[in-house]
Amino acid sequence: MSKKSYIKLEFDKIREMLSLLCVIEPNKKKALLIEPFSDAEELNFSLNEVNDACSLILKRGNPPFYSVQDVLAHIKRLDISAVFNTRELLDIGKLLKTTRLLKDYASEDRELSSYFDSLVVLRGLEEEISTKIISEDEIADNASIKLYAIRKKINATHNKIKEVLNKYITSTTYQKYLQDPVVTMRGDRFVLPVKIEHKGEIAGIVHDTSSSGSTVFIEPMQVVEINNSLKEMFLEEEKEIERILFDITSHCGLNREQILNNYNIVCDLDFIFSKAKLSVSMKGTKPVINERGYINLKKARHPLIDKTKVVPIDVILGGQYDSLIVTGPNTGGKTVSLKTVGLLCLMGASGLMIPAGDKSEISLFSHIFADIGDEQSIAQSLSTFSSHMVNIVDIINNVEYNSLILFDELGAGTDPVEGASLAIGIIESLRQKGAKIMATTHYSELKLYALSTKGVINASCEFDVETLRPTYKLIIGTPGKSNAFSISKRLGLPDEILDKAKEQLNEENIKFEDVLSEIEKTRIALKKERELANKFKLESEELKRKLTDEKQKSEEKYIKIIDDANREAKEILEEAKEEAASLIKELRNLRKEESQREFDKKTTKANERISKKIKEANSKIITSKNKQVKAVNPKTLLKGTSVKLIDLDQSATVIELPDKDGNLVVMAGILKIRTNVSNLCIDESEQKKETTYTTFKKAELKNKTITSEIDIRGATVADGVMDAEKYIDDAVMLKLEKVSIIHGKGTGVLRSAIHAMLKKHPNIKSFRLGLFGEGEDGVTIVELK
């Protein structure tokens, strides 16, 4: 990569921003040297790590890097059995604390788990350092029992010395000999300030004299011995401190590999999270990386421009077009657009998130070259044009396939005709070498070149023709006007000068600029119409969504009402069935004990109670409006026809045909229910069960169907048994599971004969008398095999 391009595109400033976010010193230096990756796989791996770190910051906040210092030199000293000083041990302690805090920080997340899981918490060593070493200059009294005892003796000796010396200070005899009534220190000895003329009045050792010579500092003989013993105690304290530091260093040595491993991981995490913090600060996103020279930046923002003022741009280069010619007025944003593309490509290729929309795409270019800004060199006596040309020659000599080249005002600084021709020649030469080019220009010749050349496209920095101000938006596909006259007029240039200047333009130039002006006006009008259409579309979609939501909520509410009502009705019906069964049992017992009249009376009351329950259930039931049913034709109904009760959603069998008003009686389970034909529908489930069978009689095949019951009341015993037996055989052939034989109550002779036949029949599984509502003793319910 061209190092000059880093400066021209201000990548050095991004490096400095990253460096300030690093905690560990080596990472600060590393950040100042980052550059694009050479391998796309490694780049994507790095970008994924930074993206994971961004996710963690948004969930957990910034990670706890606790003032970690570079401890590599400390760890190397362990290899030569050196003893750590207090500062080195405090650095190790900070590393161990950071390790523990980082482990806790990501304990519930899987992002960057390979790093966090590899950290080893050394809580014992961390606590030993933090409790024994208070600062670089102080070891805790309780660092060892011996140190505590030594310091206790030192304090006692201090007090003893002060006590002796205080006697001199407070004594009326010695006060007049002292320069000041204080105890002071000279070296490591306690002394008294004595007036020079009275130095012989206090016996002791002179340790110092004041600069004026009027005071001597004397250590009285009474404290010389005590001071000597205090000095020995200090030596003993120092020796014990050295032993404590040796012990802690030895413990560090035992954990050397874990400490080194933790340091390396913490360094890696610090660098990854520094990139993530930079991304969060500029609302960056992870770019899609390709190696085919394709750029698709969506809402890209220059990271060094104030967030409240920067204008996002969309740029596509490298697909159908390998060259982008950007035109428009000065101060219109051409150079900023150029720098934005180059800087974001450098950032993304270096493993940084870019301030652009999601799914923005950049290429891992082999080189990124930039010729931007005024390169006039006084020292080399080069003009602006010559200086630019030196750069361009250098670019041409070093360009490779899949390079990105950014030119600002290509061909400027010389004769416009020659400059435009030279610019076209340079672009064509670089295109043939496989480079991708983005160039800004004022030359109309380059606009025409872009319009007529395949693979080259115009772009312009939008200019508001109404306010005469640039909007700084980049428009792909439309050449721009310089708007020199409009800008000059806005800045105050007199009209007469502008009129004379316009007279100098040839007719061809005027027509070309007028066409561009009309194109721009049309484009702005279409843009406004499109924005208005999009607004209406969004409003329409939102209204549709709200209506759909309301409809769904209403339907859900309606279904819930139906379900609740039907559930309550079914509960009532279940209660009715249970009550009916109980009443049948009770009534049978009563029948044996009471008269027929009394029995009928109680039966009537029981029926009334059951009917009341059924009416209550019917009043609760709601039928879904959406349910499609097949209506029943009253003329087709026969006794035994299977139907379904719409309100109860329950199968039933017709036992009394409808009257003129359509009212009829059906049997639903054990319950007889009076209802209307309008409440009936065809029972689809029963229809499917119906089976036709064929018999041969007199060489003719006849189809016939049967119902689920046979009525043999009034028949003789012989005929009734014969008819019932034949009916059973037919039912078996039709694979019916359950049938009813209505034989009536009477004397019970027919019933007994039927039961005798059923006991011997091989296809009978079981049989019983009917329950209340099924016909009781007048009906036998038969279950077939």
pLDDT in tens, 24-61: 999 999 999 999 999 999 999 999 999 999 999 999 99
- Residue 387's alpha-carbon distances to 408, 409, 413, 491, in angstroms, are 13, 13, 10, 31
- Banded pLDDT at 473 (limits 50, 70, 90): confident
Average pLDDT over residues 521-538: 75
Average pLDDT over residues 373-382: 48
Q: Flag whether pLDDT at 180 surpasses 70.
A: yes
Could you tell me which residue, 554 or 296, shows the higher pLDDT?
A: 296
Residue 39: other Cβ atoms inside 10 A: 10
The answer to whether the Cα torsion of 28, 33, 36, 41 is positive or negative is: negative
Report pLDDT for 626: 45
List CB contacts of 765: < 8 A, sequence separation 6 or more: 783, 784, 785
Mean pLDDT highest for which of 583-592, 690-699, 738-747? 738-747
Q: Which range, of 131-145, 385-399, 583-597, averages the lowest pLDDT?
A: 583-597
Report pLDDT for 576: 66
Percentage with pLDDT > 90 across the chain = 38
Cα gap 412→418, rounded to integer Å: 10
Report pLDDT for 702: 39
Backbone angles phi, psi at 300, to 5 degrees: -75, 135
Burial label, 176 (beta-carbon count in 10 A; 0-12, 13-18, 19+):
exposed
Could you tell me which residue, 93 or 178, shows the higher pLDDT?
A: 93
Cα gap 406→371, rounded to integer Å: 6
Average pLDDT over residues 473-494: 73
- Banded pLDDT at 15 (limits 50, 70, 90): very high
Cα gap 262→269, rounded to integer Å: 10
Q: Flag whether pLDDT at 729 surpasses 70.
A: yes
Percentage with pLDDT > 70 across the chain = 82
Cα atoms in the 13 Å half-sphere on the side-chain side of 403: 24
Is 426 in contact with 369 (CB distance < 8 Å)?
Answer: no
Q: What is the 3-state secondary structure (H, E, C) of 348-405?
A: HHCCCCECCCCCCEEECCCEEEEECCCCCECCCCECHHHHHHHHHHHHHHHCCCCEEE
Q: Which range, of 168-182, 292-306, 395-409, 496-510, averages the lowest pLDDT?
A: 496-510
Give the angle subtended at the CA of 458 by the CAs of 452 and 461, to the nearest 5°: 155
Cα gap 52→108, rounded to integer Å: 14
pLDDT in tens, 281-295: 999 999 999 999 999
pTM as predicted: 0.62
Look over the chain and give the mean of its residue pLDDT values, rounded to a whole number.
83
Q: Which range, of 44-48, 240-244, 522-526, 650-654, averages the lowest pLDDT?
A: 522-526
- Banded pLDDT at 522 (limits 50, 70, 90): low
Average pLDDT over residues 454-464: 82
pLDDT in tens, 765-784: 899 988 877 778 889 999 98
Average pLDDT over residues 491-496: 81
Is 214 in contact with 179 (CB distance < 8 Å)?
Answer: yes
- The amino acid at residue 94 is K
Q: Which range, of 234-243, 315-324, 426-435, 439-448, averages the lowest pLDDT?
A: 439-448
Q: Flag whether pLDDT at 493 surpasses 60.
A: yes
What structural domains and CATH numbers belong to the chain? 3-141+250-281 (1.10.1420.10), 142-249 (1.10.1420.10), 288-504 (3.40.50.300), 628-682 (2.30.30), 690-785 (3.30.1370.110)
Report pLDDT for 613: 62
- Banded pLDDT at 524 (limits 50, 70, 90): low
> Which tokens in the block code for residue 621?
């039931």
Q: Flag whether pLDDT at 483 surpasses 90.
A: no
Report pLDDT for 332: 60
**DSSP secondary structure letters along 9-65:** TTHHHHHHHHHHH--SHHHHHHHTT----S-HHHHHHHHHHHHHHHHHHHHH-S---
Report pLDDT for 463: 66
Report pLDDT for 641: 81
Q: Which range, of 9-18, 374-383, 723-732, averages the lowest pLDDT?
A: 374-383
Q: Flag whether pLDDT at 145 surpasses 80.
A: yes
Average pLDDT over residues 518-526: 62
Report pLDDT for 397: 92
**DSSP secondary structure letters along 273-291:** HHHHHHHHHTT-BPPEEES
Cα gap 374→1, rounded to integer Å: 21
Report pLDDT for 689: 47
Report pLDDT for 555: 78
Cα gap 312→46, rounded to integer Å: 26
- Consecutive H or E run containing 318: none
Helix axis angle for 256-281 and 86-105, nearest 10°, is 60
Q: Flag whether pLDDT at 135 surpasses 70.
A: yes
